[in-house]
Amino acid sequence: MKDRFGRTIEYMRISVTDRCNLRCRYCMPDDIEKRPMNELLRYEQITELAQAAIKCGITHFRLTGGEPLVRKGVTELVRMLKNLPGTEEVTLTTNGILLPDLAGTLAEAGLDGINISLDTLKPERFTMIAGKDSGLLDRTLEGIEKSVELGLRTKLNCVLQKGVNEEEWKELIQFAHSRPIDVRFIEMMPIGCGIKVEGIGNDELMKQLLAEYPQAVPDERTHGSGPARYIRIPGFTGSIGFISAVHGPFCSTCNRIRLTSTGTLKSCLCYDTGMETSWIFKEGDPEARAALLEDAVRQATLMKPEKHCFSEPEKITEHKLMTQIGG
Provide the binding-site residues for ligand SAM, judged by CB under 6 A: 20, 26-27, 64-65, 67, 93-95, 117, 157, 159, 186, 188-189, 191-192, 194, 322, 327
- Residue 245 C-beta: closest distance to ligand SF4, Å: 14
Nearest to 175 by CA among 222, 241, 87: 241
Among the residues of 56-201, which ranges form H helices?
74-82, 99-109, 123-130, 135-149, 169-172, 175-178
What CA–CA distance (Å, rounded) separates 46 from 263? 8
- For residue 153, the number of C-alpha atoms closer than 13 Å in the C-beta half-sphere is 12
- Residue 222 C-beta: closest distance to ligand SF4, Å: 26
- Residue 157 C-beta: closest distance to ligand SF4, Å: 9
Binding test (CB under 6 A) with ligand SF4, winner from 9, 16, 20, 189: 20
Contact call for residue 18 and ligand SF4 (CB under 6 A): no
Judged by CB under 6 A, the chain residues 287 through 326 that form the site for ligand SF4 are 322-323
Residue 25 vs 304, nearer CB to ligand SF4: 25
Size of site (CB under 6 A) for ligand SF4: 14
What CA–CA distance (Å, rounded) separates 128 from 122? 10
Residue 80 vs 186, nearer CB to ligand SAM: 186
2 phi, psi to nearest 5 deg = -90, 145
- Residue 27 C-beta: closest distance to ligand SAM, Å: 4
- SS3 sequence of 167-186: CCHHHHCCHHHHCCEEEEEE
Gyration radius (Cα) of the chain, Å: 19
Nearest to 41 by CA among 65, 6, 59: 65
- Residue 8 C-beta: closest distance to ligand SAM, Å: 23
Rule CB under 6 A: which residues touch ligand SF4? 20, 22-24, 27-28, 65-67, 95, 117, 322-323, 327
